[in-house]
Amino acid sequence: MGTPAGTDLNPRTTKYEFYGPPGALFVTVATPFFTYLLYFSCSEETGGCPPEVDLEHVLGALKDPHFYLNLWDAEAAKWYFAWFAFCVAAWAILPARVVEGTLMRDGLKKKYKTNAFSTCILAFCIVAGIIYQQGPEGFTILYRKLLGFMTAALAVSTVQAVHVYASSFQPGKLLTLNGNTGNPIYDFFIGRELNPTIGSLDLKYFNELRPGLILWALICISTLCEQATRRGGWANVTDSMWLTAFFQIFYVVDSMYNEAAIFTIMDITTDGFGFMLSFGDLVWVPFTYSLQARYLVFEQVELGLVYTALILGLNSLGYLIFRQANSEKNDFRNGKNPRNLAYLTTKRGSKLLTSGWWGRSRHPNYFGDLLMALAWSLPTGFETPITYFYVIFFTFFLIYRQERDDAACAEKYGDDWETYKQIVPYRIVPYVY
C-alpha cells in the first residue's frame, strides 16, 4: 500500500532549515561552483596557492567555451565510473555482516550489509599492487586528473539526486520529516525519501562511506605518489606530506572499520537522501578535504621532529575524543553501557548519557573531529590561509549541525532536553562553547 505525502506516516514538513528554499537553492548552486573555485585557487595549473593570475586573464578564460569543455576529461570520467561500479560490485560480492539500523517511523528496522572495510582494503591492495609493479608514478593519475574526476563525480551525484527525488513520488515511500515541504527546490536539496534504494542497495548508506570517502584516501595516496615521483623516491617524501596523508587515510580506514557506527548518525536516522548528501558524499568530501595533501605536492614543507611530534599529538588527542565519544553513544544506543555511565531516562523512553564524554559537552564527537581537522592543516605551514579551508569550513559546518541537531532533539525530547541541557550546558567544546 502507498504512503502518500501528507498522511500520518508522511506528514507535511512545516519548518524550513538552511534558510528555506532560497538557502537551499543557494547551497545547491554555490557548492559545486565553490568546489571548482577552491581547486583553481590552490593549484599548480593556476600558479600556486593563491594563484598568480590577473583579473583580465580570468575573465578571458571564463568567456572561452574551451574552459568549460576542459572540465570534462573522458579518461578520468571512464575511471571514475569504473570506480563507482567497483564499489557497487564489492558491496554485492564481498562477505558482509548484516546489521540492523535504528527503529524507523513505520515500525521497521532496515538491514545493512557492512563490508565497507573489506571494500577499502581491497581497493588499497589493488593500488598497492599497481605501485609495487610500476613504482609511485603508476598511481599519480588521481592527482594529475583531479579536475576530470571531480566533474565526473559531480555528474554522478547530480544524476543520483535527480533520480532519488523523482522516485520519491512512487507510492509506498517513507519520506523524511524534514524534506516533505512540497517545495521542489527545497525537497530536492534536503532529500525527500528517507532510504531510497535500487534493488536491495540502500543509496544513502552506500554513498555515505564508500565511493566518496575511500576515494578521498586514494587521492591522498596519489598525492604521496606524485611527491615521491618528483623527489626521486619514497625516502625523500617530506614529513609534512606523510603526516597529512597518513592522518586522512587513517580517518577513512577508521570510518570503514567502524562502519556500524554510522547507523546512529543524523544522516542515516533523520535526513533524507537528496542533493545535499549526494553531492556532499561524492564531491565535497573527497575533492575539497584533500586540498592540503594536494598543496604539499607543489609546496613542499619540512616540519622537523618537534613540529611533527606536536601535530601528531594533536591529531591523536582529537582522534581519542572523537572515537571514544562516538563509541560511547553507539554502544549506548545498541543497549550496551560497558563503563556504567550515568544517563537520563526521557518520557519518550529513550535515554540520554549524562556522564563520560556526553556529560562534558552535547557534541564531544564534534570537538574531537575539529582538533583533527586542525592537525590536518598545520603540516602545510602558514604561507596561505587557503590550506586551512577544511578546518574553517568544518567549524561553521559543525556549529550549524549542532544547532540543527539541538532543535531536532528539543522537538523529540521536549522538557527532558531542557533538563539535559542544564546538566550538560556546553554545546561542543567543554567549558568553552
The stretch near ligand NDP (CB under 6 A) out of 16-24, 76-84, 115-123, 259-267 is 259-267
Nearer to ligand NDP, 208 or 299 (CB): 208
What is the DSSP annotation of 167-187?
A: HTTSTTPPBPTTS-SS-HHHH
Closest residue by Cα to residue 174 from 192, 155, 147, 189: 192
Draw the binding track, 272-311, toward ligand NDP (x: CB under 6 A; -: no contact).
Answer: -------------x--------------------------
Residue position matching grid coordinates 537528496: 274
CA dihedral 340, 342, 346, 350 (to 10 degrees): -30
Query: Taking CB under 6 A as the rule, does residue 166 contact ligand NDP?
Result: no
130-156-199 Cα angle (round to 5): 95
Nearer to ligand NDP, 228 or 353 (CB): 353
The stretch near ligand NDP (CB under 6 A) out of 30-38, 57-65, 84-92, 361-369 is 361-369
Residue position matching grid coordinates 537520563: 344
Query: Taking CB under 6 A as the rule, does residue 363 contact ligand NDP?
Result: yes
Query: Taking CB under 6 A as the rule, does residue 112 contact ligand NDP?
Result: no
Query: Taking CB under 6 A as the rule, does residue 265 contact ligand NDP?
Result: yes
Phi, psi of 225, deg, nearest 5 = -60, -40
- Measure the CA–CA gap between 84 and 302, rounded to whole angstroms: 36
Query: Taking CB under 6 A as the rule, does residue 333 contact ligand NDP?
Result: yes
Handedness of CA 40, 43, 45, 47 (dihedral sign): positive
Draw the binding track, 386-405, toward ligand NDP (x: CB under 6 A; -: no contact).
Answer: ---------------x---x
Specify the long-range contacts of residues 7-15, CB closer than 8 Å, at least 24 apart: 9/105, 9/106, 9/174, 10/173, 10/174, 10/175, 10/180, 11/177, 11/180, 12/180, 12/181, 12/182, 13/176, 13/177, 13/178, 13/179, 13/180, 13/181, 14/181, 15/178
Question: How near is the Cβ of 55 to ligand NDP at its closest, in Å?
Answer: 33
Query: Taking CB under 6 A as the rule, does residue 417 contact ligand NDP?
Result: no
Query: Taking CB under 6 A as the rule, does residue 208 contact ligand NDP?
Result: no
Q: Locate 366 and state its grid cell.
A: 564534534
Query: Taking CB under 6 A as the rule, does residue 409 contact ligand NDP?
Result: yes
Which of 146, 352, 378, 428 touches ligand NDP (CB under 6 A)? 352
Straight-line distance from the first to the last Cα atom of the chain, in angstroms, rounded to the nearest whole number: 48
Query: Taking CB under 6 A as the rule, does residue 353 contact ligand NDP?
Result: yes
Binding to ligand NDP (CB under 6 A) within 60-79 occurs at none
Nearer to ligand NDP, 143 or 394 (CB): 394
H helices present in 135-238, as ranges:
141-144, 146-167, 184-190, 203-209, 215-230
The stretch near ligand NDP (CB under 6 A) out of 11-19, 153-161, 264-272, 297-305 is 264-272
The stretch near ligand NDP (CB under 6 A) out of 161-169, 218-226, 234-242, 360-368 is 360-368
Question: How near is the Cβ of 401 to ligand NDP at its closest, in Å?
Answer: 5
Which of 332, 357, 388, 389 touches ligand NDP (CB under 6 A)? 332
Which of 193, 202, 369, 416 touches ligand NDP (CB under 6 A)? 369
Query: Taking CB under 6 A as the rule, does residue 105 contact ligand NDP?
Result: no
Closest residue by Cα to residue 20 from 183, 169, 192: 183
- Measure the CA–CA gap between 421 and 418, rounded to whole angstroms: 5
Question: How near is the Cβ of 413 to ligand NDP at its closest, in Å?
Answer: 7
Nearer to ligand NDP, 350 or 384 (CB): 350
Query: Taking CB under 6 A as the rule, does residue 131 contact ligand NDP?
Result: no
DSSP 139: G
Cβ of 294: how many Cβ atoms within 10 Å?
25
Which of 159, 266, 342, 407 touches ligand NDP (CB under 6 A)? 266
- Measure the CA–CA gap between 233 and 137, rounded to whole angstroms: 10
Give 189's contacts (C-beta < 8 A, 6+ positions apart): 18, 24, 25, 27, 28, 274, 275, 276
Nearer to ligand NDP, 131 or 261 (CB): 261
Closest residue to ligand NDP, based on beta-carbon distance: 265
Query: Taking CB under 6 A as the rule, does residue 427 contact ligand NDP?
Result: no
CA 302 to chain centre: 29
- Measure the CA–CA gap between 361 and 367, rounded to whole angstroms: 9
- Residues forming contacts to ligand NDP in the complex (CB under 6 A) are 264-267, 285, 322, 326, 329, 332-333, 350, 352-353, 358, 363, 365-366, 369, 401, 405, 408-409
